Structure 1
């Protein structure tokens, strides 16, 4: 089914289904459940009735702080032991933590330890959402495909030699030609370069036998899949709100005491986490690019196998020690400063995660402060847990606005995935710029609202439009940043594309200068020596590390908005967090505009050079 929708996926239908229904769907649902019900654990299970808001806030802050460190570490581990192992471990930790949380007898240290354990497991799951996306379109075991390419090259080379005995070579002698035949699979001719023939998995091979980016088709598959990831992630939040959260009330209706009802609910949700882990363990077996990763890599340093072809067509295999953990994370961080796709992915993740806090935390806080300021309710604006009890109208309005924003995001997730796959090759960043522009308008509009009460007129109806724009911006940032990040991992960067274009132009000029005048052969477009072949940047071995840095950037966005936005909310204006989010989106907009404009300039320059070379 998944292969029919996304024919460019190299993952199987079971693997794609497991990714969407297992990792993506539940990556956020358990977090939404815990954040919404942790106060009931404090009040009903532990029995603490005072300073509940302070306890919940401290637990949440500790969760984010630990996740900020855990996400890159899980990403590094996945590069050694595999995505499947990390995801299964993460959901198992979540299951254990949910059970331990409702067995706690005090907030410190027992409930804190349980929440920190949940943070470790949740960091693993959220990081694997990002790391697994490029694996869905990655090529399968390259060693097998290299062997197949070698066998094909040997066979075609043998046929070429047979044909060479019957016709003159370039030197005019009869017999075996001194130079390799252009019919060999190891020689890239202009015809072959133009046709860009594919291997059995839909990949392309360059002059070194390495995989190249398969162009707009692979980019479309990655972007469309990222759209579905956003859709299923939003569906996971709705699953938590519609099924997990009502469980305590349902059990209380069946006669259980409040504490017992909360405990039973956590036990059930924890069991579901274990079930998801089993589902992932079975469904993500033999994931593309993960064949040689195992737990054994934790205590032994693996080796990278590199196969190169010399000028005579012979294959040479070299074993080199794989990079250390510190080297992997250093490479992932460095890519954020040297590759435009990775940089935009990190920046988009920062804005997307911060936007989620803007929706879930500051919209209710803004609404509650409005009702308190106008004497419409008596709850404490600094304690969100008071809203539901003391101001039902404010709670209803905050829930409605948040729900509208999330619904808009859910609807637009596939749209952004489709846009990312349909735009012209080399311009996949423009939908991200559109999302940032929508975010600037939405957050400024909401921050300037005098009345967020959309149900009672007097300008409040503009709140609907503002939260819709905010929701669209949030999902656009998530989907587009994931798609761009996946493209940066699986395909060559924009700098590499320019290098390849310049290389093709230079090689064409060489061919015009040194190529044969006659003889019926076409001069090779690319030299056969490995040092002159078109450069490629394979980062499949870094996808976990890059995903970890991506999650780290998102966590940094959450902490910055939470602390700085909260402080400005109290000291400056209630719209300060939304103005801060508008600034974040404006920075993203300028970054996309600058990078996209730079790419367009490079493309024009390369086209001009190519035109001059052809003349």
Structure 2
């Protein structure tokens, strides 16, 4: 990957081939560090949800309580995120992205040291807030930096590379974790020590990423907010930005798309693990099967990002979110039609989930990246992440209840309906804007001469 100069900023070439225009002052080493962080960001954040079913089994928690426990942990997680993510976004506008980004990985690493030491569910509740602060840092900074670095002409493609690396990272990190469980088990460790060793390996990876980010990301606060304003004044910028209906739609899109991500990362693997154990698989075998399908879902998400990004670059961003949410709804609402979720038919289901998840994520962040004002962009992205946290919290609470009390595919039906709502809102906004353009055109043209 390389960079060449231009009159307004550098041109970064992915694998020496695909040109991406950059903002002034952004260098190749900054982008390389960002993409390195993007590779590990979502993979290491989803790790805790993908692997927690294994911990539930080690703690002796009945399967009928898994959904509720997972939902409560997610609720604690997102309450902390809600309390911190906006302030972290505005803080990054003041002290710089790399400090907050590296802090996030450090906090997640600390949690991964403590989490598998739990001997009761209450201990998980105590460790989860540490993870939540780190997750808030990582999610807010990833969204901010991938909007800070590219020029508008390359924004969706730049973001697509990050999302592709997210998807590859999710597959690699969680796939490697599955291999670690098998490897540690073959060394003669019991299930408790296997869980601890796997989490501690993830903790070490977090610390390595934190060091890379603090050294190689672009230093300092973003130029557009180099004149540091008060936190509450910047907060007002983010809320006032919602007067633009496109920004408001992006906030709603974050609510739904982050809920999608939570359902996939928390309940998909939990559902598959539960069914595997009911069908007689061992704890490690059921976990391996669950991780396999989760990895397949992310493997399909990666090429789908490459398909969606050029489309989003060439069409109206609201039209893009409408298309993406429609496709995501189709994927999630198909889940009830897979009665045996660990059969080979679920490879198709995993593909649909992966493509739906990527559609929702990429379209929402592309829309906010386009519509967010230059000054206070970090605050607007922070509020975007705040709405995302609300979506995750709602998906955890209501999804967990549906998982335990209705059907294991209930959370997928719930988020599929959410995708339909955003799809409908996007169509209504497009219709409203079209009518306004026609009215303005008629006003400019004036009445016909007699």
Q: Same fold (TM over 0.5)?
A: yes
Alignment correspondent of 1:207: none
Alignment correspondent of 2:44: 30
**2:382 & 2:213 partners in 1: Cα distance?**
20
Task: Pick the aligned partner of 2:112 from 98, 108, 113.
Answer: 98
Matched, 1:283 2:298: no
Contact 1:436–1:586 (CA<8 Å) still a contact in 2?
yes
Task: Pick the aligned partner of 2:320 from 425, 431, 434.
Answer: 431
1:218-229 residue pairs with structure 2 within 5 A?
Answer: 218-229=151-162
Task: Pick the aligned partner of 1:451 from 339, 351, 361.
Answer: 339
**1:481 & 1:579 partners in 2: Cα distance?**
20
Matched, 1:14 2:26: no
* TM-fit CA distance, 1:478: 0.7
Task: Pick the aligned partner of 1:75 from 89, 92, 113.
Answer: 89
* TM-fit CA distance, 1:80: 1.8
**2:154 & 2:380 partners in 1: Cα distance?**
20
Alignment correspondent of 1:331: 237
Matched, 1:590 2:418: no
**2:81 & 2:102 partners in 1: Cα distance?**
17
**2:196 & 2:220 partners in 1: Cα distance?**
37
Higher normalized helix content (fraction of residues): 2
Alignment correspondent of 2:361: 478
**2:267 & 2:123 partners in 1: Cα distance?**
29
Alignment correspondent of 1:408: 300
Matched, 1:440 2:329: yes
Alpha carbons of structure 1 residues 8 and 20: separation in structure 2 relative to 1, 3 Å: same
Matched, 1:548 2:382: yes
**1:570 & 1:285 partners in 2: Cα distance?**
46
Alignment correspondent of 1:356: 261
**2:329 & 2:436 partners in 1: Cα distance?**
29
Alpha carbons of structure 1 residues 262 and 570: separation in structure 2 relative to 1, 3 Å: closer
* TM-fit CA distance, 1:106: 4.5
Matched, 1:577 2:411: yes
Alignment correspondent of 2:7: none
For 1:526-573, what per-residue CA distance to the aligned partner results, in whole angstroms no more than 9, with x for missing partners? xxxxxxxxxxxxx33422222222222222222222322343455556
> Could you tell me the TM-score, scaled by structure 2's length?
0.82
Unaligned runs of 5+ residues in structure 1 are: 138-217, 294-302, 305-321, 372-376, 380-385, 490-538
Contact 2:224–2:374 (CA<8 Å) still a contact in 1?
no
* TM-fit CA distance, 1:221: 1.0
For 1:118-163, what per-residue CA distance to the aligned partner results, in whole angstroms no more than 9, with x for missing partners? 21112101111111122113xxxxxxxxxxxxxxxxxxxxxxxxxx
Alpha carbons of structure 1 residues 482 and 572: separation in structure 2 relative to 1, 3 Å: same
Unaligned runs of 5+ residues in structure 2 are: 4-11
For 1:55-103, what per-residue CA distance to the aligned partner results, in whole angstroms no more than 9, with x for missing partners? 963444422332232222211211222211111111122223323445x
Contact 2:93–2:222 (CA<8 Å) still a contact in 1?
no
* TM-fit CA distance, 1:434: 0.9
Alpha carbons of structure 1 residues 577 and 277: separation in structure 2 relative to 1, 3 Å: closer
Alpha carbons of structure 1 residues 239 and 96: separation in structure 2 relative to 1, 3 Å: same
1:41-60 residue pairs with structure 2 within 5 A?
Answer: 48-49=59-60, 57=70, 58-60=72-74
Contact 1:433–1:593 (CA<8 Å) still a contact in 2?
yes
1:274-423 residue pairs with structure 2 within 5 A?
Answer: 274-286=207-219, 289-290=222-223, 303=227, 322=229, 324-336=230-242, 338-363=243-268, 379=278, 388-389=281-282, 401-423=293-315
SS in structure 2 of the partner of residue 285 of structure 1:
coil
Contact 1:436–1:588 (CA<8 Å) still a contact in 2?
yes
* TM-fit CA distance, 1:416: 1.4
Give the paired residue count.
430
**2:309 & 2:121 partners in 1: Cα distance?**
44
Contact 1:359–1:405 (CA<8 Å) still a contact in 2?
no
SS in structure 1 of the partner of residue 22 of structure 2:
coil
1:139-154 residue pairs with structure 2 within 5 A?
Answer: none
For 1:256-292, what per-residue CA distance to the aligned partner results, in whole angstroms no more than 9, with x for missing partners? 5655554444443323222211211122134682497
**1:250 & 1:570 partners in 2: Cα distance?**
32
* The structure with more radius of gyration: 1
* TM-fit CA distance, 1:432: 1.4
* TM-fit CA distance, 1:41: 5.7
Contact 2:263–2:399 (CA<8 Å) still a contact in 1?
no
Task: Pick the aligned partner of 1:130 from 143, 151, 158.
Answer: 143
* TM-fit CA distance, 1:223: 1.1
